[in-house]
């Protein structure tokens, strides 16, 4: 670990903290339907969309209608994307002549982009036409992100409102999020990326003759426009197979910095939106503090493990020490321009949020360096999290935390003046139990079936980690991978597709139910017996609950994969 | 509930037009107008023909050139398209090795590369990036340490004084962004182009 590495990490943290308040204020205005500086441009467009869709943006929906609207919208998107991939060969914008996507892969991919997962079981530059990349995948980058944010806002309204029937209007939240938040920022960030070297064209792949006279085909495309929303919407689906490690997606240190800031920006700022809407910004900062502590812990472990490197390589007489002339450390699967600090930082951020973009190959991380991203997702991606999903995941843990605190003192728990009763706790537990059920369940099936065992590229405990990571990533809607696994098979396409569905929608429905039930409640005035939820005690309690729930659930599985591999690596055992 | 079907369909169509067609196509227009070189892949042209992109590494195996890092990219086997063969720096199929830290194949591969490099420049420490594959398989850079390591070989092959080559490498070391972000590096393709130019001077 180097001083410069830590300075880069600190700069990132400062940038996020500075962003939270102004961006949170802006989003609060957007979702309250107030005027913003973009209203003169977007206002007419927004009203036009409502008119076309026959929507009254001011009418409040109850939790069930809100949830049904969201599900219908996602169903339409899923079917449309599936059709687009199956038909790409006969549609325009296909200069590379890609053929129709095979059915199980099309199912998996449509589910993947519909659920904000962006798991990619294919090599994009060799599979998808420009039309699919733009009108299919980029669109879902926008709308799946907007869906997540809308849901988080709905839950926050549940806390903020009193004795209310409705939790907002899904169509209005979706439209406003897309027009006022996602689109403008994507335009600015996308153009910045082009300036820094990210291609944006619709031409055929370039044929170059190299200095040594060989032929090199260079894949191109409308990369920058997808890159911006891929990060901002915590989608993570790469235009190219190597994702943000590809020099065209992420040409340098400054694009890398902007990309990681984009990943965290909305998720972090939503904590402030939460604080503002419930009328006490400290509540938002407390939630962000929980996220920050868990994030820093992950960065410490991952950076240390990657900088320490692989003793098996050092043993061969290779110089892996850090110096002004090289970053050193575990450079297998990493790019020189990012070195160790930026690769480890990116890996933690992309899995803390549900982004899943990578600028280094996680499969080649050291065992403990790879454990951090895995565990981050298993905790439910509540460290900032996916846009929206992170906040509602964290609030579920906050509900469990006040419930635990209530049990300790024998008092009905309250959170933000709302009594947390049996219904909310049941629903929160239901949502939280979905993760282990799907992750461990599918992993168990895959490790005892021939179709599952055909997947891993690495032998020994690392092979198990690859399978565990695949279902963790799918269920957590992350999309990153221990990418050695051959996941483009009928078995993996189907099971990971189901895991993505379960992880997204089976978590959302109980969550929306909580929002509806909370909105209907009265506010209980705070008394001397009220547990304050903006102080260090609360922060510590939530961190504890998260680590205990996550640790108890996943430690046995982690012990079989990365932990045992760590000791094997130290002992010099190879597989 | 049924009345939510119309907005579900209309919204999807309208948002597809806005974010999936208008947005990327408008971005393409603007990018082509304002940043045409970058928008088209930062290509390096020679006599009007592309010899590569300054952002994309290319495969160098001749001893008279500086070499990039090992690359794990592959291409479909011409004999059997269901299989793939090694094709370093295949810029139409980016990928890393995905070899785990306890992979026997990884350690054996590195051992082989170490033996070759030791023979080429005995006594010098072997920089780790020179024996590890990059994440994309297209890494355009090596570390300054890896460039220095290759100076004796390149100078010998080109019958140039080492000091001359050393000075060229020195000029091609790129520092951190604003002195802080990223890592110091050397763009291999640019360095090799400069090397060729040196000869013809």
Q: CB distance from A95 to chain B under 8 Å?
A: no
Query: Does residue B86 lie within any of the structural domains?
Result: no
Residue-level pLDDT at A137:
92
Is-contact B25 A184, C-beta < 8 A? no
Q: CB atoms < 10 A from the CB of A358, how many?
A: 28
* CB interface of A with B, residues 199-218, below 8 Å: 199-203, 205-212, 214, 216-218
Specify whether B18 is located in the same domain as B109: no
Specify whether B113 is located in the same domain as B25: no
Distance CA A417, CA A297 (A): 31
Distance CA A424, CA A432 (A): 12
Tell me the pLDDT tens digit for each residue of B29-57: 999 999 999 999 999 999 889 999 999 99
Tokens of A290: 């929980």
Kind of pairing, strands A318-319 and B126-127? Answer: parallel
Q: In what order do the strands lie in the sheet with B185-187?
A: B141-142, B185-187, B173-174
* CB interface of A with B, residues 123-142, below 8 Å: 123, 125-126, 134-136, 138-139, 142
Specify whether B50 is located in the same domain as B134: yes
Q: Name the residue among A202, A248, A254 with its Cβ closest to that of B28.
A: A202
| A483/B5 touch (CB, cutoff 8 Å), yes or no | no
What's the 3-state SS for A441-482?
HHHHHHHHCHHHHCCCCCCCHHHHHHHHHHHHHHHCCCCCCC
| A256/B183 touch (CB, cutoff 8 Å), yes or no | no
Tell me the pLDDT tens digit for each residue of A276-304: 999 999 999 999 999 999 999 999 999 99
**Which residues of A are less than 8 Å from B110 in CB distance?**
313, 316, 318
**Cα B62–Cα B63–Cα B66 angle in degrees, nearest 5:** 90
Q: CB distance from B132 to chain A under 8 Å?
A: yes
> What is the number of structural domains in chain B?
2
Sign of CA dihedral A430, A432, A438, A441: negative
Query: Does residue B29 lie within any of the structural domains?
Result: yes
Q: How far is B156 from chain A (nearest CA, A)?
A: 19
Query: Does residue B20 lie within any of the structural domains?
Result: yes
Specify whether B158 is located in the same domain as B65: yes
| A138/B23 touch (CB, cutoff 8 Å), yes or no | yes
Specify whether B32 is located in the same domain as B47: no
Distance CA A457, CA A448 (A): 16
Query: Does residue B109 lie within any of the structural domains?
Result: yes
H or E element that contains B193: helix B188-200
Residue-level pLDDT at A524:
86
CB pairs under 8 A between A and B: 402
Query: Does residue B85 lie within any of the structural domains?
Result: no
Q: Name the residue among B30, B102, B146 with its Cβ closest to that of A575.
A: B102
Q: CB distance from B42 to chain A under 8 Å?
A: yes
Mean pLDDT of B94-107: 95
Residue-level pLDDT at B123:
87
C-alpha closest to that of B132 among A238, A154, A333, A55: A333
Residue-level pLDDT at A190:
97
pLDDT, one tens digit for every residue, chain A (575 residues)? 899 999 999 999 999 999 999 999 999 999 999 999 999 999 999 999 999 999 999 999 998 899 999 999 999 999 999 999 999 999 999 988 899 999 999 999 999 999 988 899 988 888 999 999 889 999 999 999 999 999 989 988 988 888 888 899 999 999 999 999 999 999 999 999 999 999 999 998 999 999 999 999 999 999 999 999 999 999 998 899 999 999 999 999 999 999 999 999 999 999 999 999 999 999 999 999 999 999 999 999 999 999 999 999 999 999 999 999 999 999 999 999 999 999 999 999 999 998 999 999 999 999 999 999 999 999 988 888 777 778 888 888 889 999 998 998 888 888 988 999 999 999 999 988 999 999 999 999 999 999 999 999 999 999 999 999 999 999 999 999 998 999 999 999 999 999 999 998 898 888 888 888 988 898 888 888 788 888 999 999 999 999 999 889 999 999 999 999 999 999 999 99
Is-contact A55 A169, C-beta < 8 A? yes
pTM of the model: 0.95
Q: CB distance from B151 to chain A under 8 Å?
A: no
**Which residues of A are less than 8 Å from B96 in CB distance?**
242, 245, 333, 361, 363-364, 483
The parent domain of residue B30 ranges over 1-40
Residue-level pLDDT at B200:
58
Q: Which residue of B has its CA nearest to A78?
A: B12
Give the pLDDT band (50/70/90) at residue B201: low
Interface-testing mutation among A91, A200, A338, A484, with chain B (most B C-beta atoms within 10 A)? A200
Q: Name the residue among A76, A205, A208 with its Cβ closest to that of B9.
A: A76
| A216/B94 touch (CB, cutoff 8 Å), yes or no | no
Q: Name the residue among A197, A254, A358 with its Cβ closest to that of B181.
A: A254
Q: Which residue of B has its CA nearest to A253?
A: B182
CA B72 to chain centre: 11
Sign of CA dihedral A36, A37, A40, A42: negative
**Which residues of B are less than 8 Å from A65 in CB distance?**
1, 4
Q: Name the residue among B4, B93, B136 with its Cβ closest to that of A72.
A: B4
Q: CB distance from A229 to chain B under 8 Å?
A: yes
Query: Does residue B84 lie within any of the structural domains?
Result: no
| B126/A339 touch (CB, cutoff 8 Å), yes or no | no
* Proportion of chain B above pLDDT 70, given as a percent: 98
Q: CB distance from B119 to chain A under 8 Å?
A: no
Is-contact A401 A541, C-beta < 8 A? yes
Specify whether B2 is located in the same domain as B58: no
| B126/A318 touch (CB, cutoff 8 Å), yes or no | yes
| B34/A318 touch (CB, cutoff 8 Å), yes or no | no
DSSP string, A277-315: HTT-HHHHHHHHHHHHHHHHHHHHHHHHHHHH--HHHHT
Q: CB atoms < 10 A from the CB of B173, how many?
A: 16
Q: CB distance from A569 to chain B under 8 Å?
A: yes
Q: Which residue of B has its CA nearest to A96?
A: B92
Specify whether B33 is located in the same domain as B49: no
Q: How far is A84 from chain B (nearest CA, A)?
A: 12
**Which residues of B are less than 8 Å from A222 in CB distance?**
24, 27-28
Q: Terminus-to-terminus CA distance in chain B, angstroms?
A: 77
Residue-level pLDDT at B62:
95
Distance CA A141, CA A134 (A): 10
Distance CA B24, CA B37 (A): 18
| A328/B118 touch (CB, cutoff 8 Å), yes or no | no
Residue-level pLDDT at A66:
92
A489-500 in b/e burial notation, b at 16+ Cβ within 10 A? bebbbebbbbbb
* CB interface of B with A, residues 52-111, below 8 Å: 52-53, 55-62, 65, 69, 89-104, 106-107, 110-111
Q: How many helices, marked H, and strands, marked E, lie in chain A?
A: 21, 5
Residue-level pLDDT at A12:
97
Specify whether B51 is located in the same domain as B30: no
Query: Does residue B83 lie within any of the structural domains?
Result: no
Q: CB distance from B198 to chain A under 8 Å?
A: no
Q: Terminus-to-terminus CA distance in chain A, angstroms?
A: 28
Tell me the pLDDT tens digit for each residue of B139-186: 999 999 999 999 999 999 999 999 999 999 999 999 999 999 999 999
Specify whether B28 is located in the same domain as B111: no
Q: Which residue of B has its CA nearest to A341?
A: B182
Interface-testing mutation among B2, B5, B10, B11, with chain A (most A C-beta atoms within 10 A)? B11
Q: CB distance from A254 to chain B under 8 Å?
A: yes
H or E element that contains A330: none
Residue-level pLDDT at A525:
87
Specify whether B117 is located in the same domain as B132: yes
Kind of pairing, strands B84-86 and B126-127? Answer: unpaired
Q: Which residue of B has its CA nearest to A139?
A: B20
Specify whether B52 is located in the same domain as B137: yes
Is-contact A291 A386, C-beta < 8 A? no
Query: Does residue B149 lie within any of the structural domains?
Result: yes
Q: How far is A510 from chain B (nearest CA, A)?
A: 19
Is-contact A366 A273, C-beta < 8 A? no
Specify whether B1 is located in the same domain as B63: no
Is-contact B114 B126, C-beta < 8 A? yes
Dihedrals phi, psi of B108, to nearest 5 degrees: -65, -40
Give the pLDDT band (50/70/90) at residue B199: low
């Amino acid at each position: 670990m180097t001083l410069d590495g830590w300075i880069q990490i600190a700069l990132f943290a400062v940038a996020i903290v500075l962003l939270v308040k102004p961006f949170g204020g802006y989003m609060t205005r957007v979702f309250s339907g107030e005027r913003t500086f973009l209203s003169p441009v977007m206002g007419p467009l927004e009203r036009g969309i409502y008119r076309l869709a026959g929507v009254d943006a001011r009418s409040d929906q109850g939790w069930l209608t809100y949830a049904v609207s969201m599900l219908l919208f996602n169903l339409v998107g899923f079917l449309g994307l599936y059709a687009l991939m199956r038909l790409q060969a006969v549609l325009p914008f296909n200069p590379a002549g890609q053929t129709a996507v095979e059915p199980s892969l099309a199912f998996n991919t449509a589910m993947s982009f519909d659920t904000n997962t962006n798991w990619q079981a294919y090599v994009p530059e060799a599979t998808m036409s420009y039309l699919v990349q733009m009108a299919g995948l980029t669109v879902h980058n926008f709308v799946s992100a907007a869906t997540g944010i809308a849901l988080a806002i709905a839950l926050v309204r549940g806390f903020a409102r009193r004795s209310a029937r409705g939790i907002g209007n899904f169509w209005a939240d979706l439209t406003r999020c897309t027009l006022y938040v996602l689109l403008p920022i994507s335009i600015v960030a996308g153009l910045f990326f082009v300036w820094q070297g990210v291609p944006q064209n619709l031409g055929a792949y370039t044929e170059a003759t190299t200095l040594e006279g060989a032929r090199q085909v260079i894949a191109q495309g409308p990369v920058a426009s997808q890159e911006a929303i891929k990060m901002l919407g915590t989608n993570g689906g790469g235009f190219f197979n190597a994702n943000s490690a590809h020099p065209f997606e992420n040409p340098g240190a400054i694009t890398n910095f902007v990309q990681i800031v984009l990943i965290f920006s909305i998720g972090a700022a939503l904590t402030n939106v939460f604080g503002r809407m419930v009328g006490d910004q400290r509540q938002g900062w407390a939630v962000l503090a929980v996220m920050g502590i868990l994030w820093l812990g992950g960065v410490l472990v991952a950076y240390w493990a990657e900088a320490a490197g692989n003793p098996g390589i050092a043993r061969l007489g290779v110089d892996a020490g850090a110096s002004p002339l090289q970053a050193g450390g575990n450079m297998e699967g990493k790019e020189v321009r990012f070195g160790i600090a930026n690769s480890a930082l990116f890996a933690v951020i992309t899995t803390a949020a549900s982004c899943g973009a990578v600028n280094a190959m996680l499969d080649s991380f050291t065992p403990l360096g790879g454990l951090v991203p895995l565990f981050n997702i298993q905790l439910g991606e509540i460290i900032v999290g996916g846009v929206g999903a992170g906040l509602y995941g964290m609030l579920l843990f906050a509900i469990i935390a006040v419930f635990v605190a209530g049990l300790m003192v024998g008092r009905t728990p309250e959170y933000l003046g709302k009594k947390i009763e049996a219904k909310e706790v049941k629903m929160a537990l239901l949502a939280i139990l979905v993760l282990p059920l799907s992750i461990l369940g599918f992993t168990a099936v895959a490790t005892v079936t021939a179709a599952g065992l055909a997947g891993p590229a690495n032998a020994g405990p690392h092979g198990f980690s690859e399978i565990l990571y695949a279902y963790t990533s799918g269920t957590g809607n992350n999309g990153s991978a221990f990418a050695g696994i051959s996941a483009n098979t009928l078995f993996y396409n189907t099971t990971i597709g189901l895991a993505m569905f379960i992880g997204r929608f089976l978590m959302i429905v109980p969550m929306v139910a909580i929002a509806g039930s909370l909105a209907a409640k009265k506010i209980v005035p705070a008394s001397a017996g009220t547990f304050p939820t903006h102080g260090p005690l609360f922060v510590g309690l939530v961190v504890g609950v998260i680590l205990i729930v996550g640790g108890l659930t996943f430690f046995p599985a982690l012990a079989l994969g990365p932990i045992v591999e760590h000791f094997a690596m130290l002992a010099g055992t190879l597989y | 509930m049924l009345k939510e079907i119309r907005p579900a369909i209309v919204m999807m169509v309208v948002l597809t037009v806005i974010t999936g067609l208008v947005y990327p196509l408008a971005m393409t227009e603007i990018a082509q107008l304002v940043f045409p070189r970058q928008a088209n892949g930062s290509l390096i042209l020679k006599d009007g023909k592309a010899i590569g992109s300054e952002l994309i590494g290319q495969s160098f195996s001749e001893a008279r050139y500086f070499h990039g890092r090992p690359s794990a990219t592959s291409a479909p086997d011409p004999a059997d398209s269901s299989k793939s063969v090694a094709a370093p720096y295949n810029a139409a199929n980016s990928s890393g090795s995905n070899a785990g830290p306890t992979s026997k194949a990884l350690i054996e591969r590195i051992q082989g590369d170490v033996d070759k490099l030791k023979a080429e420049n005995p006594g010098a420490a072997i920089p780790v990036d020179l024996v590890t594959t990059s994440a994309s398989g297209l890494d355009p850079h090596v570390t300054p340490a890896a460039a220095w390591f290759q100076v004796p070989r390149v100078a010998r092959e080109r019958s140039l004084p080492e000091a001359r080559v050393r000075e060229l490498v020195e000029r091609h070391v790129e520092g951190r962004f604003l002195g802080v972000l990223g890592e110091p590096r050397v763009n291999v393709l640019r360095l090799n182009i400069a090397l060729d130019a040196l000869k013809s001077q």
